[in-house]
């Protein structure tokens, strides 16, 4: 039967026939990528300011990455965690050196890293003998993932509605609200999860005061601070971990997205407090720490350092911020800009999707998040010329919008 089947064309219509309707895909079938440019199957070149939702830190077609993947794929694609696999060891050593922490657990996706962190936090809290010390808190406006634990820590109703009941023993602290923080944490708290720069929530950085108070309260109540670096980590904000910028001193750190250079890979890194929490059989995953993904991760981390991509993130990111600020002087549609390396949020006066669609018409891929925030997460390799092209196009879109509004008045 299979031989006679004619494949459906790769169109939105076929997509509707084949898949559950959980993604709002763009009307673009992609063929390949070159640097910061994604190429459609009709040859159209798009400047990619989304980078696979913050995954493609090296852009497309990096030979060091594809060679590391091919080399490892030829040797061994999978063996399972019954065995010791050299790429896992090398990657773990790198992550420990970068973080100064003590132990690593490898998984496949961001949400799985969060699940592992929740489990580690709860089991860690067990040792204190209080059966109520199991509360896991997060901050309003946050996003931690789609599986039940991670979803229970996630703020947006659109991700949760209809899926209740959520995990019990979870709760939310108002973002950057010191009074609420003091009210919510207690001796029952096992962990507080923090995205130092909230991504899905619209690119907002947690305040220094909030982090300082959180650390004081950790002393008082003995809980863990978990940094969700899944979107902001791996150099995106100009430092390898965004938490170092506010000296958050986390007990657990979750990484994913760019970690596997585009292959599924995530990590939980923990400090001395949690080194003995997981014991044999407690937790695991068949694919976690896949050797090909780890080889890609090693190449990716090396390239970030060799190519000074964290410095580039800060230089090009600041340039974009300054240029958008200039644009805001002539385009009142821009309300605010927040920039942390190449994690950039531009608040606009209407649904950001409008601008994402207009940009797509001009072959630039930008992303809308948090209703009225344009989110830019370009590859860390983006250069000034490409950044300027994005700004010029944004200027054009905003100008055309004003012109259209005056002609209809």
Ligand X SMILES: Cc1ncc(COP(=O)(O)O)c(C=O)c1O
Distance CA 384, CA 55 (A): 20
Considering the complex, state which of residue 62 and residue 228 has its C-beta at the smaller distance from ligand X: 228
Interaction between residue 115 and ligand X (CB under 6 A): no
Does residue 111 interact with ligand X by CB under 6 A? yes
First-residue to last-residue Cα distance in the chain:
60
- Give yes or no for residue 230 binding ligand X (CB under 6 A): yes
199 near ligand X (CB under 6 A): yes
Q: Between residues 190 and 256, which has the closer beta carbon with respect to ligand X? A: 256
The answer to whether residue 228 forms part of the interface with ligand X (CB under 6 A) is yes
**Min CB(80)–ligand X separation in Å:** 21
Q: Measure the CA–CA gap between 198 and 238, rounded to whole angstroms.
A: 15
Residue closer to ligand X, measured from CB, 62 or 195: 195
CA 257, CA 354: separation in Å to the nearest integer?
26
Among the listed residues 37, 143, 193, 223, the single contact to ligand X using CB under 6 A? 143
Other Cβ atoms within 10 Å of 78 Cβ, number? 11
Report CA 30 to chain centroid distance, whole Å.
Answer: 22
CB nearer to ligand X: give 231 or 312: 231
Q: Cβ closer to ligand X: 133 or 236?
A: 236
Q: Cα-Cα-Cα-Cα dihedral of 62, 63, 69, 71, to 10°?
A: -170
Q: Is 145 in the site for ligand X (CB under 6 A)?
A: yes
CA distances from 114 to 106, 322, 354 (A): 11, 35, 32
Radius of gyration of the chain (CA): 22
Number of residues located near ligand X, criterion CB under 6 A? 14
- Of the candidates 33, 59, 87, 110, which one interacts with ligand X according to CB under 6 A? 110
56 vs 333 by CB, closer to ligand X? 56
| Nearest approach, Cβ of residue 194 and ligand X (Å) | 10
Residue 18 CA to residue 35 CA, distance in Å, equals: 31
Q: Does 256 bind ligand X (CB under 6 A)?
A: yes
Q: Does 195 bind ligand X (CB under 6 A)?
A: yes
Q: Among 178, 181, 231, which residue's Cα sits nearest to residue 203?
A: 231
Q: Is 231 in the site for ligand X (CB under 6 A)?
A: yes
Nearest to 355 by CA among 397, 402, 313: 397
Q: Per rule CB under 6 A, is residue 109 in the interface with ligand X?
A: yes
Which stretches of the chain bind ligand X, using CB under 6 A?
A: 109-111, 114, 143-145, 195, 199-200, 228, 230-231, 256
């Amino acid at each position: 039967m299979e031989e006679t089947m004619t494949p459906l064309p790769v169109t939105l219509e076929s997509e509707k026939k084949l898949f559950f309707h959980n993604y709002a895909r763009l009307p673009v079938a992609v063929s390949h990528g070159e640097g910061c440019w994604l190429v459609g199957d009709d040859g159209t070149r798009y400047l990619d300011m989304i980078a696979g939702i913050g995954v493609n830190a090296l852009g497309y077609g990096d030979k060091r990455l594809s060679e590391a993947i091919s080399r490892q794929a030829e040797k061994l694609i999978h063996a399972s965690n019954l065995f010791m696999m050299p790429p896992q060891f090398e990657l773990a050593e790198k992550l420990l050196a970068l973080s100064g922490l003590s132990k690593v657990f490898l998984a496949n996706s961001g949400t799985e890293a969060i699940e592992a962190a929740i489990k580690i936090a709860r089991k860690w809290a067990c040792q204190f003998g209080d059966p109520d010390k199991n509360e896991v808190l997060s901050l309003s406006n946050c996003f931690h993932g789609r599986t039940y634990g991670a979803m229970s820590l996630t703020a947006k109703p659109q991700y949760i509605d209809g899926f209740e009941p959520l995990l019990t023993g979870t709760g939310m602290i108002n973002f950057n609200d010191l009074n609420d923080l003091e009210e919510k944490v207690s001796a029952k708290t096992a962990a507080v999860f923090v995205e130092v720069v909230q991504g899905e929530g619209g690119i907002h950085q947690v305040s220094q005061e909030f982090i300082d108070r959180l650390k004081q309260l950790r002393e008082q109540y003995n809980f863990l601070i978990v940094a969700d670096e899944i979107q902001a980590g791996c150099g995106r904000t100009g430092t390898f971990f965004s938490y170092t910028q506010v000296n958050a001193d986390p007990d657990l750190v979750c990484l994913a997205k760019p970690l596997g250079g585009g292959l599924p890979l995530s990590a939980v890194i923990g400090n001395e407090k949690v080194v003995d929490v997981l014991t044999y059989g407690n937790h695991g995953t068949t694919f976690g720490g896949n050797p090909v993904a780890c080889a890609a991760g090693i190449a990716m981390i090396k390239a970030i350092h060799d190519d000074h991509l964290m410095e580039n993130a800060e230089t090009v990111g600041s340039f974009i911020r300054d240029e958008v600020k200039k644009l805001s002087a002539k385009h009142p549609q821009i309300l605010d800009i927040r920039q942390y390396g190449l994690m950039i949020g531009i608040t606009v006066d209407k649904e950001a999707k409008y601008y994402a669609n207009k940009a797509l018409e001009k072959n630039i891929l930008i992303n809308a998040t948090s209703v009225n925030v344009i989110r830019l997460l370009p590859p860390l390799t983006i250069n000034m010329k490409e950044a300027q092209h994005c700004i010029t196009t944004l200027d054009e879109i905003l100008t055309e919008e004003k012109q259209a509004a005056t002609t209809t008045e």
